[in-house]
């Protein structure tokens, strides 16, 4: 469901070595992938290629059978809104809005995700609340401004926003870096429950290798770029 072939990416035309150089990568529907590598090796760059935020300098990226690098900017934006949930490292929440309001924004630009959300709950707000509860944010916290929540609580809001409307692909860029080890593992398990319920593919970047064993697959970006078998 995700296929990369001969993908090269340079931030600048004059860059001597590409930031991304991947001959082949296939990820199946429903896989939980742990992507790791040292700082600066290109993990976030790869995630932005997978999300269609940037396009490769050369090569093909197919998501759900569609070559996203061949889509116009507006079609790529639509594809992303319909099929990809993104959990940002700094969460990118709107601080003066409540958790429910932040989560409903996750499907604001996608009719398809709104439709999916309404298969689970009577209203989009009720579905936001259901997801927040499932991710461990109790009802009392769901209506106050996000700025008043702890980092761990904000992280649950960011995750619920990515999951609303059951996108096929969930991308998480170091969402656990602010938590201690025990809370990281608990949070990852909650992510898995939601990903499995929607059969979403989860691509998760982290520096914390203790999380690696929880995942169905682990990819070293350094090995992948070197052309060796990078999957364990």
Ligand X SMILES: Nc1ncnc2c1ncn2[C@@H]1O[C@H](COP(=O)(O)OP(=O)(O)OP(=O)(O)O)[C@@H](O)[C@H]1O
Q: Which residues contact ligand X (rule: CB under 6 A)?
A: 11, 19, 37, 39-45
Q: Which is nearer to ligand X, 37 or 167 (CB)?
A: 37
Element (DSSP H or E) covering residue 223: helix 221-226
CB of 215 to ligand X, least distance (A): 17
E-strand ranges in 2-106 read: 2-9, 20-27, 32-36, 58-63, 66-67, 84-87
User: 173 pairs with which residues across the strands?
Assistant: 205
In angstroms, the Cα distances linking 32 to 8, 71, 73 are: 24, 26, 28
**For ligand X, which is the closer residue by CB, 112 or 177?**
177
Q: Which pair of structure tokens corresponds to residue 224?
A: 């992948």
Nearest approach, Cβ of residue 5 and ligand X (Å):
20
CB of 76 to ligand X, least distance (A): 18
In whole angstroms, the minimum distance from the beta carbon of 176 to ligand X comes to 13
Rounded least distance, CB 46 to ligand X, Å = 7
Other beta carbons less than 10 A from residue 183's beta carbon: 14
Within 10 A of 150 (CB to CB), how many other CB atoms are there?
Answer: 10
Nearer to ligand X, 116 or 218 (CB): 218
> 45 vs 110, which CB is nearer to ligand X?
45
C-beta of 131 vs 221, nearer to ligand X: 221
- Nearer to ligand X among residue 42 and residue 106 (C-beta): 42
Q: CB of 170: closest distance to ligand X in angstroms?
A: 18
Q: How far apart are CA 123 and CA 143, in angstroms?
A: 16
Provide the token pair at 94.
């709107």
- Spell out the residues 6+ positions from residue 153 whose beta carbon is closer than 8 angstroms to its own: 137, 141
What number of other Cβ atoms are within 10 A of residue 23's Cβ? 14
């Amino acid at each position: 469901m995700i296929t990369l072939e001969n993908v090269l990416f340079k931030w600048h035309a004059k860059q001597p070595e590409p930031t991304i150089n991947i001959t082949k990568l296939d990820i199946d529907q429903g896989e939980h992938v742990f992507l790791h590598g040292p700082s600066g090796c290109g993990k976030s760059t790869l995630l932005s290629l997978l999300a269609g935020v940037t396009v490769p300098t050369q090569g093909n990226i197919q998501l759900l059978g569609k070559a996203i690098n061949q889509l116009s900017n507006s079609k790529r934006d639509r594809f992303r809104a319909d099929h990809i949930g993104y959990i940002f490292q700094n969460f990118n929440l709107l601080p003066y809005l409540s958790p429910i309001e932040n989560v409903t924004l996750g499907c604001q630009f996608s009719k398809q995700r709104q439709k999916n959300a309404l298969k689970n709950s009577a209203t989009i707000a009720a579905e936001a609340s259901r997801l927040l509860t499932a991710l461990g944010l109790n009802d009392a916290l769901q209506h106050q401004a996000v700025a008043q929540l702890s980092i761990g609580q904000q992280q649950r809001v960011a995750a619920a926003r990515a999951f609303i409307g059951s996108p096929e692909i969930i991308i998480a860029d170091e969402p656990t870096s602010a938590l201690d080890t025990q809370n990281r593992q608990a949070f990852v398990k909650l992510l898995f429950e939601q990903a499995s319920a929607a059969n979403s593919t989860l691509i998760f970047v982290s520096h914390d290798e203790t999380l690696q064993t929880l995942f169905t697959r682990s990819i070293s970006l350094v090995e992948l770029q070197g052309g060796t078998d990078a999957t364990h």
